[in-house]
């Protein structure tokens, strides 16, 4: 039971608590730590890339190593940094925003985070076990089938494991938001963070299965001797491209929608105004989610699908700009005439608007299929997606980190250092990526490890690398800020920003492990704000004070994920040196133990699943007396 | 998280519930026998060597009817409280069909259009 173990107070007790926790607030912290770690790792890889490209004819990284670094940079940033960090904020806020005591499936929540962590570790172990994947984050089959060694196998298996975790978490959030809302929290009263989480969850449910299928086909080809992508044997590599982008385009919306959610909260909080055009915002979110599935082939204009197919996908792509534009205008109207407070999160939010719009505009340019023949595979594309992903998603993550830090840890990050981080990061970001548009238009290709002197690329690349250095400085200041804040440990009380509007800010800090002593009654959009303005500043309870039910901790999710982690090694080495294997791994030494490792790993997973199904774990009750004691203590603390 | 509370029912409530359940049961059985009948017809047509194109069309139609019955009667899509499940399935089918059509046209047939 959560509080019983935590009271032992040793380091090991804390670690054990986190390994077994099913509390969404602690899982959020796990996501934050693991995602933050991978973010730094991906950042180091980015710095290596920019050092290599800073000057012409550089041999800081060899061509092969460069391919590994760019592949791992992209894969890590998308799957292991951006998405988990968004999950951190979703876990930290959504159950609180809808007035629930936990998510719908706390056990699955824990399973999701451990699958992600083990998948991420597996992928990164490739660095030490014979070389990282080198076929790009898109891993096009024509490259990935030919890539020698086990690098691509690490990619396929690692993403399969962590992808399963993402899918599970997606289902969990959809169910939570549909079924666990407090009385009065109708759909059209849900804060935008909750809405965007819901739509992103739906996108995960629909978009991850195609990736799973594609990865399985790749795994079968590379590890078990099938021929889905092997052209000599009648396979077709284009199938991978379709499957990947059917997943891949929705994926970018899985990333950006929660980012929109975070910014919507920040805008209305620090402009001290209700979000302008709330229902249009909701409508636009849903519409973007729907359109997101109809446009995947805009990544494949140059494949030769034909002019009709290209035209259809080009038009569908441009259509997405309409709901996105609606959102941009609504944010502008939200701050219009508001009494704006320039906190760190608000700075990121204000910087996000022009930065993201620039990325959107280049997106529309690329959506013009004939023009895309020029842009495709050039640095222009690199500039586009960094403008949307860094200017949109990463800004949101940094803003969210400052904004939700008190909710997660009951302390405040330093505003002064936060603003220094912001300016370093903001200037560095534009310095790095603005110039890359021009590099692309001048003809510099992406994913090439160096360039010749005298092509006119030198100065621009140097500027770009210097900008990257500024961003790295910004992140270092952020890390210092976090260390100082944790060391000082100066607790803050309820509603630390002073202008909280939504339910999560109505809770005492640190948030009790059961969240709400009594499930609140929601009387409208911005539930807490309404009580501040029209009530006495306290949420009205929707139930009488009574015992309630909470789930028990469990180590099973950890063991289950560990089993898949072990099994992945078996699958990975299975084809080594076998005569039926593809050329890429046929010359490697035979690993006779691989099959048994696979079997043992799967056995661990299945046995833990069986244990889980046969062991009746009914959870426990939090008693009325304990809740009353907590409430009294809070009151004493407040005085 | 709601605890299961064993509330006792009045006699009328109990009778109503029974009647409802009987009706439900009858519907399930009717649907089930209808589906068996359709399967039987499909096999029968093949056994009797009907025209192949004709069989293909009819079997596809039967299959469609069976899927609808399956969803609505056996998987309770007709009941209240399944709006989201219904929405998800319809949207999912829409996407799946769109993906299949593109795959057939631009990957399998392979002619640029
Ligand atoms: C107005 C909205 C957008 C439009 C019209 C758009 C359009 C496009 C097009 C046409 C491409 C393919 C270009 C090529 O490879 O030749 C592309 C690439 C890309 N876009 Fe966007 N985009 C939009 C928003 C976004 C957002 C919001 C994100 C992420 C948060 C994003 C992430 C990416 C990525 C990662 C790639 C490159 C994939 C790769 O080849 O590695 N885009 N975009
Ligand atoms: Cu796209």
Other C-beta atoms closer than 10 Å to the C-beta of A580 total 8
Atom 23 of ligand 1 has which residue's CA nearest to it? A363
- DSSP string for residues in A213-237: HHHHHHHHHHHH---SS-GGGT--T
Partner B, chain A 95-124, Cβ-Cβ below 8 Å:
101
User: Does residue B6 have a pLDDT over 80?
Assistant: no
Which pLDDT does position A2 carry in this prediction? 44
Q: What confidence score (pLDDT) does residue B16 get?
A: 87
Lookup: tokens for A263 = 């910014």
- Evaluate the CA torsion angle A124, A128, A133, A136 in order and state its sign: positive
Other C-beta atoms lying within 10 Å of the C-beta of residue A475: 17
For ligand 1, pick from A83, A323, A381, A389 the residue to mutate: most ligand atoms within 8 Å of CB.
A381
Contact B113 A306 (CB under 8 A): yes
Cβ <8 Å between B107 and A549: no
**How many angstroms separate the most distant Cα atoms in chain A?**
78
When pLDDT is averaged across residues A151-175 and rounded to a whole number, the result is 95
- Residue B76 pLDDT more than 90? no
Question: Which residues in chain B have Cβ-Cβ distances shorter than 8 Å to A297?
Answer: 102
The secondary structure of A400-458 as a DSSP string is HHHHHHHHHHSS---HHHHHHHHHHHHHHHHHHHHHHHHHHHTTPBSS-S---TTSS-H
Task: Determine the atom of ligand 1 nearest the C-alpha atom of A324.
Answer: 1
Q: Is the pLDDT of residue B112 over 70?
A: no
Residue B31 and residue B74 in contact, taking contact as beta carbons nearer than 8 Å: yes
pLDDT band at A541 (very low <50, low <70, confident <90, very high): confident
pLDDT at A1 over 60: no
The pLDDT of A237-258, averaged and rounded, is 94
**Residue A454: CB atoms within 10 Å:** 8
Whether A177 has a pLDDT exceeding 70, the answer reads yes
Cβ–Cβ contact A549 with B under 8 A: yes
The reported pLDDT for the residue numbered A431 is 96
Task: Name which residue leads in pLDDT, A613 or A2.
Answer: A613
Q: Give me the mean pLDDT over the A22-40 stretch.
A: 95
Question: A3-638: what fold?
Answer: Cytochrome C Oxidase; Chain A (1.20.210)
Residue A518 pLDDT > 50, yes or no?
yes
By C-alpha distance, which of A264, A242, A243 is closest to A328?
A264
| pLDDT above 90 coverage of chain B, percent | 3
pLDDT of res. A11: 86
CB contact under 8 A, B1 and A549: yes
pLDDT tens digits along B32-61: 898 899 999 889 988 888 888 888 888 889
Classify A544 in phi/psi space as left (phi over 0), alpha (psi -120 to 50) or beta: beta
Mean pLDDT along residues A373-385: 95
Q: Indicate yes or no: CB of A178 within 8 angstroms of CB of B3.
A: no
Best mutation target among A234, A308, A619 (most B Cβ atoms within 10 Å) is: A308
Mutation target to probe the B interface, by most B beta carbons within 10 A, among A203, A238, A620, A622 is A238
Q: What confidence score (pLDDT) does residue A199 get?
A: 95
Task: Give the separation between CA A54 and CA B12, rounded to whole angstroms.
Answer: 83
Could you count the other beta carbons within 10 Å of the beta carbon of residue A286? 17
- The best mutation among A298, A357, A369, A437 to test binding of ligand 1, ranked by most ligand atoms within 8 Å of the C-beta, falls on A298
For the ranges A173-177, A491-495, B84-88, the one whose mean pLDDT is highest: A173-177
| pLDDT above 50 (res A109) | yes
* Rg of chain A, C-alpha, whole Å: 25
- In chain A, count H helices and then E strands: 23, 4
Sign of the alpha-carbon torsion through B41, B42, B46, B50: positive
Band of residue A639 on the pLDDT scale cut at 50, 70, 90: low
pLDDT at B7 (0 to 100):
59
Sign, CA torsion B101/B104/B110/B111: negative
Band of pLDDT at residue B110, cut at 50, 70 and 90: low
Grade residue A4 by pLDDT with cuts at 50, 70 and 90: very low
Quick one: DSSP state of residue A378? B
Q: What is the DSSP letter of A575?
A: T
Main-chain phi, psi angles of A540, to 5 degrees:
-80, 140
Question: Residue A540, SS3?
Answer: strand
Give the gap in angstroms from C-alpha B2 to the nearest C-alpha of chain A: 8
| Beta strands A540-541 and A520-521, pairing class | antiparallel
Cβ-Cβ contacts under 8 Å between A and B: the total is 41
How many angstroms separate the CA atoms of A279 and A281, rounded?
5
Structure letter (DSSP) for residue A548: E
Average pLDDT, chain A: 92
Q: How far is A4 from chain B (nearest CA, A)?
A: 22
pLDDT, one tens digit per residue, over A54-64 is: 999 999 999 99
Q: How far is CA A104 from CA A88, A109, A110, A506, in A?
A: 16, 9, 12, 22
Main-chain dihedrals φ then ψ at residue A41, nearest 5 degrees = -60, -50
Contact A210 B106 (CB under 8 A): no
| Beta carbons of B106 and A305 less than 8 Å apart | yes
pLDDT, tens digit (0-9, with 9 covering 90-100), for A546-601: 888 888 999 999 999 999 999 999 999 998 888 888 888 888 888 889 999 999 99
C-beta separation of A575 from A581 below 8 A: yes
Hey, which residues 290-319 in chain A have their CB within 8 Å of chain B?
290, 293-294, 297, 304-309
Taking the model in full, what pTM does it have? 0.90
Which residues does a 6 A CB cutoff place in the pocket of ligand 1?
A 138, 252, 255-256, 298-299, 317, 320-321, 324, 360, 363-364, 366-367, 372, 375-376, 381, 384-385, 388-389, 392-393
Closest CA to A260 of A209, A337, A220, A203: A203
For the cut 80, the answer to whether the pLDDT of residue A93 exceeds it is yes
- What's residue B113's pLDDT? 61
Cα distance between residue A624 and residue A546, in whole Å: 5
- Residue A299 CA: nearest ligand 1 atom is 12
């Amino acid at each position: 039971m959560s509080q019983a173990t935590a009271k032992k107070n040793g380091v090991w007790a804390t670690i054990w608590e986190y390994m077994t926790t099913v509390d969404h607030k602690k899982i959020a912290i796990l996501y934050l730590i693991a995602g933050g770690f991978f973010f730094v790792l991906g950042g180091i890889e980015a710095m290596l890339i920019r050092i290599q490209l800073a000057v012409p004819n550089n041999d800081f990284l060899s061509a092969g190593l460069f391919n590994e670094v760019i592949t791992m940079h992209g894969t890590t940033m998308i799957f292991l940094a951006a998405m988990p960090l968004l999950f951190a904020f979703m876990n930290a806020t959504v159950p609180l925003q809808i007035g629930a005591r936990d998510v719908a499936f706390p056990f699955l929540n824990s399973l999701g985070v451990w699958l992600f962590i083990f998948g991420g570790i597996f992928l990164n172990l490739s660095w030490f076990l014979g070389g990282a994947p080198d076929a790009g984050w898109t891993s096009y089959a024509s490259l990935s089938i030919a890539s020698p060694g086990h690098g691509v196998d690490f990619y396929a298996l690692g993403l399969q494991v962590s992808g399963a975790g993402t899918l599970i978490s997606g289902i969990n959030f959809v169910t939570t938001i549909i079924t666990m809302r407090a009385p009065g929290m109708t759909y059209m009263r849900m804060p935008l963070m909750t809405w965007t989480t819901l739509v992103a969850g739906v996108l995960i449910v629909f978009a991850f299965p195609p990736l799973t299928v594609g990865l399985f086909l790749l795994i079968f080809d590379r590890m078990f001797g099938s021929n889905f992508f092997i052209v000599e044997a009648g396979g077709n590599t284009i199938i991978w491209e379709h499957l990947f982008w059917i997943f891949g385009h929705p994926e970018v919306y899985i990333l950006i929608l929660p980012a929109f959610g975070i910014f919507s909260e920040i805008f209305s909080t620090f402009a001290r105004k209700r979000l302008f055009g709330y229902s249009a915002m909701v409508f636009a979110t849903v519409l973007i989610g729907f359109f997101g599935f109809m446009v995947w082939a805009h990544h494949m204009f140059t494949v030769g699908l034909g002019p009709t197919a290209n035209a259809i996908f080009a038009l569908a792509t441009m259509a997405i700009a309409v709901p996105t534009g609606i959102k941009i205008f609504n944010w502008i109207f939200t701050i219009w005439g508001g009494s704006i407070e320039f906190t760190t999160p608000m700075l990121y939010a204000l910087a996000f608007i022009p930065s993201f719009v620039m990325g959107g505009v280049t997106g529309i340019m690329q959506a013009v299929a004939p023009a895309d023949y020029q842009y495709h595979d050039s640095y222009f594309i690199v500039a586009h997606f960094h403008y949307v992903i860094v200017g949109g998603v990463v800004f949101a993550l940094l803003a969210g980190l400052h904004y939700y830090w008190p909710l997660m840890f009951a302390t405040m990050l330093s505003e002064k250092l936060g603003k220094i981080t912001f300016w370093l990061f903001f200037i560095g970001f534009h310095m790095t990526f603005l110039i890359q548009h021009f590099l692309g238009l001048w003809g510099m290709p992406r994913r090439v490890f160096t360039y010749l002197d005298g092509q006119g690329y030198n100065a621009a690349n140097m500027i770009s690398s210097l900008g990257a250095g500024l961003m790295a400085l910004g992140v270092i200041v952020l890390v210092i800020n976090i260390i100082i804040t944790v060391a000082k440990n100066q607790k803050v009380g309820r509603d630390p920003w002073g202008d909280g509007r939504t339910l999560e800010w109505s809770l005492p800090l640190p948030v009790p492990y059961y969240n709400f002593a009594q499930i609140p009654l929601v009387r409208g959009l911005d539930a807490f704000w309404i009580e501040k303005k029209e009530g006495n500043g306290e949420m009205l309870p929707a139930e009488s004070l009574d015992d309630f039910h909470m789930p028990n901790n469990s180590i099973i999710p950890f063991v289950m994920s560990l089993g898949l982690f072990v099994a992945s090694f078996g699958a990975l080495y299975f084809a080594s040196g076998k005569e039926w294997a593809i050329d890429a791994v046929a010359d490697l030494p035979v690993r006779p133990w691989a099959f048994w490792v696979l079997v043992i790993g799967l056995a661990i997973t299945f046995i833990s699943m069986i244990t889980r199904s046969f062991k009746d774990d009914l959870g426990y009750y939090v008693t009325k007396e304990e809740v009353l004691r907590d409430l009294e203590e809070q009151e004493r603390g407040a005085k | 998280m709601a605890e299961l509370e064993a509330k006792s029912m009045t006699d009328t409530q109990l009778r109503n519930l029974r009647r409802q359940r009987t009706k439900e049961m009858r519907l399930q059985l009717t649907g089930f026998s209808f589906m068996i009948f359709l399967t039987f017809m499909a096999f029968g047509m093949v056994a009797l060597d009907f025209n192949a194109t004709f069989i293909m069309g009819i079997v596809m139609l039967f299959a469609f009817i069976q899927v609808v019955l399956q969803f609505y009667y056996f998987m309770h899509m007709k009941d209240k409280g399944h709006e989201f499940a219904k929405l998800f399935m319809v949207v999912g089918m829409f996407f799946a069909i769109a993906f299949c059509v593109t795959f057939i046209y631009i990957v399998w047939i392979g002619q640029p259009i």
